A and B are shown apart, each in its own frame.
Chain A
């Protein structure tokens, strides 16, 4: 096209991208680059601003300020061109209920400028590839959650987008469907599809993504591959303590006994009390004696190897799932 054509353009790039709702800053001057060919994950808790970020990149949310590019198309200035380059799988089921399974694909192809013949061929091909051919004539409301999600992915890639954007693609899916969807995304990526996904499941980010941006309060707190992020956490690991009785008191006591600072963090979770930091193994005796001092019985104590959740707690002092 021009002399820049040998410089690889990022698949997605945001520049100081910002969205403010009232006085709530949903996305805070975000600078983000998704490289062509990678699976990029935005990982963060509810309300972090993931959906809003995805919405701005995919023309569905108007930024308050800043810019977003898909390839070299400015999505705010040229939404129609940008739409041609993105495939979107929103968090909710947005299949067209007035149409059959096959028609959802066929008409999508037609919206994207395919001839009737091409749209028909691609529909058949995708139905087979996504194992939906025996449902082709059914109404989309007859699909299970996993099938509906597969159809949404098929629809989103039908027009061969530069980037496939998925918002929490496996939330609400049963474990088996989740694994199946991961396989699909890996296959697509293996065939060259750039993927940008949001998730609040650390396993999903860990398993699937080449690079992960940990996001909270509209900002990126850390960026890198899963192993880089874990390494950046400075070898922090998690000591998981399960006690009978009220762990609230224990947390109080431990905070006094250990002294919480940027190196050690203590949070309460569904599974028990988590103590995150470097060398937390050395704290085991303190933990046990503190619990005994309160008359609490420690019935399980385990050292969990660093995970992205460890990284997140280490960064924010909060659990990912809150």
Chain B
């Protein structure tokens, strides 16, 4: 008689149930990383281009041609410094959305490529968690790739003060929130409206995400200061400022963690439901 998979898993020292779901999730992650490795050069280009140009123009070209952003002299240095967090944060969230939402469009498209993975022996929520983790891992890569650029490209020196405990807890949390956001977008937006994702979600999130200015500096426009609180990138960038710099104002770090955990839970729930609805007819 043919051995069933349960027996095969047992024979290999695994067990059926929660533990085997973890194995399946790791196998799916390994698949995503294999795909990423194949396209590593494209990944780096995609991740690096926008921040490189941004940092180059605003913190190298502008100061050199006397068009400093944020005033002159020490203000320029401050701008370069506050931008570190913003550009790393934007890379994290942007990459997670790209890594999770865009492939889903094809995977759910005409060919339903997702099916083989949806048929892996675990519940659909397992696939959702894998997608979120995969996006998060790629987001952390993106942040790491971008980091040296924002350090070394600016014409004025960047002053970092790294708070390690905050950094190593905040970055994964930010990446996971970004992964849940990517999956939420990917499962809620109809596949034929990808361009819409960018217009109505990615652009507002990035432009109003406290990237180019600390959140506190929005005080003169108090309605906007309140409205942007629905934007997870605000907390990610404020948290990164707390983790990387001193002297740049940032939101109370406790609120940052609280908000990011709430986002992770809410978006995680919504995206698991969304994926389930898309996978099971």
Q: Which residues of A contact B (CB under 8 A)?
A: 55, 58-62, 79-81, 83-86, 88, 90, 92-99, 103-104, 107-108, 110-115, 118, 155, 159-162, 192-193
Enumerate the 8 nearest inter-chain pairs by beta-carbon distance, A residue then B residue, closest first.
A110-B27, A111-B120, A84-B121, A84-B5, A113-B9, A160-B2, A94-B115, A61-B281
A196 to B70, CA, bound (A): 69
B119 and A86: CB pair below 8 A? yes
A99 and B6: CB pair below 8 A? no
Interface stretch of the complex, out of B12-20, B137-145, B232-240: B12-20
Q: A83-B119, A111-B121 in contact; A99/B24 too (CB < 8 A)?
A: no
Please tell me if B110 contacts chain A, counting CB pairs below 8 Å: yes
Q: A59-B280, A99-B34 in contact; A159/B113 too (CB < 8 A)?
A: no
B115 and A60: CB pair below 8 A? yes
Q: Which residue of B lies closest to A193 (CB)?
A: B2
Q: A61-B281, A94-B111 in contact; A88/B30 too (CB < 8 A)?
A: no
Main secondary structure of the interface of B (DSSP, over half): helix
Residue of A90, A112, A193 contacting most chain B CB atoms (<10 Å): A112
CB distance from A214 to the nearest CB of B (A): 24
A155 and B116: CB pair below 8 A? yes
CB distance from A130 to the nearest CB of B (A): 16
A92 and B27: CB pair below 8 A? no
B9, B14, B103, B112: the one contacting A94 at CB < 8 Å is B112
B5 and A159: CB pair below 8 A? yes
CB distance from B99 to the nearest CB of A (A): 12
Please tell me if B123 contacts chain A, counting CB pairs below 8 Å: yes
A112 to B123, CA, bound (A): 13
A192 and B1: CB pair below 8 A? yes
A92 and B110: CB pair below 8 A? yes
A-B contact pairs, 5 of them (CB 8 A): A58-B119, A94-B113, A95-B113, A96-B31, A99-B34
- Contacting residues of chain B (234-252) with chain A, CB-CB under 8 angstroms: none
Give every chain B residue within 8 A of A96 (Cβ-Cβ). Answer: 31, 113, 116-117
Q: Which residue of B lies closest to A51 (CB)?
A: B281
B30 and A90: CB pair below 8 A? no
B12 and A84: CB pair below 8 A? no
With an 8 Å Cβ cutoff, the count of chain B residues facing the other chain is 43
CB distance from A184 to the nearest CB of B (A): 17
Q: Which residue of A lies closest to B122 (CB)?
A: A80
A113 and B12: CB pair below 8 A? yes
Q: A55-B281, A81-B16, A95-B113 in contact; A160/B121 too (CB < 8 A)?
A: no
Q: A60-B118, A110-B31, A115-B12 are in contact. List 9 more A-B contacts (CB 8 A).
A: A61-B281, A80-B126, A84-B4, A94-B112, A99-B35, A107-B34, A111-B31, A111-B121, A112-B8
Give every chain B residue within 8 A of A193 (Cβ-Cβ). Answer: 2
CB distance from B18 to the nearest CB of A (A): 10
B123 and A79: CB pair below 8 A? yes
A112 to B3, CA, bound (A): 13
Please tell me if B279 contacts chain A, counting CB pairs below 8 Å: yes
Give every chain B residue within 8 A of A115 (Cβ-Cβ). Answer: 12
Give every chain A residue within 8 A of B60 (Cβ-Cβ). Answer: none
A103 to B27, CA, bound (A): 12
Give every chain B residue within 8 A of A161 (Cβ-Cβ). Answer: 5
B8 and A160: CB pair below 8 A? yes
CB distance from A107 to the nearest CB of B (A): 5
Give every chain A residue within 8 A of B4 (Cβ-Cβ). Answer: 84-85, 160, 162
Please tell me if B46 contacts chain A, counting CB pairs below 8 Å: no
A47 to B121, CA, bound (A): 29
Please tell me if B253 contacts chain A, counting CB pairs below 8 Å: no
Please tell me if B197 contacts chain A, counting CB pairs below 8 Å: no
A94 to B109, CA, bound (A): 10
A113 and B2: CB pair below 8 A? no
Please tell me if B48 contacts chain A, counting CB pairs below 8 Å: no
Please tell me if B75 contacts chain A, counting CB pairs below 8 Å: no
- Contacting residues of chain B (2-55) with chain A, CB-CB under 8 angstroms: 2-6, 8-9, 12, 14, 16, 20-21, 23-24, 27-28, 30-31, 34-35, 38
B8 and A111: CB pair below 8 A? no
Residue of B1, B3, B31 contacting most chain A CB atoms (<10 Å): B31
Q: Which residue of B lies closest to A19 (CB)?
A: B281
Residue of B5, B14, B34, B106 contacting most chain A CB atoms (<10 Å): B5
A111 to B28, CA, bound (A): 7
A62 to B279, CA, bound (A): 10
Q: A92-B110, A94-B113, A110-B31 in contact; A192/B2 too (CB < 8 A)?
A: yes
A111 and B24: CB pair below 8 A? yes
CB distance from B262 to the nearest CB of A (A): 29
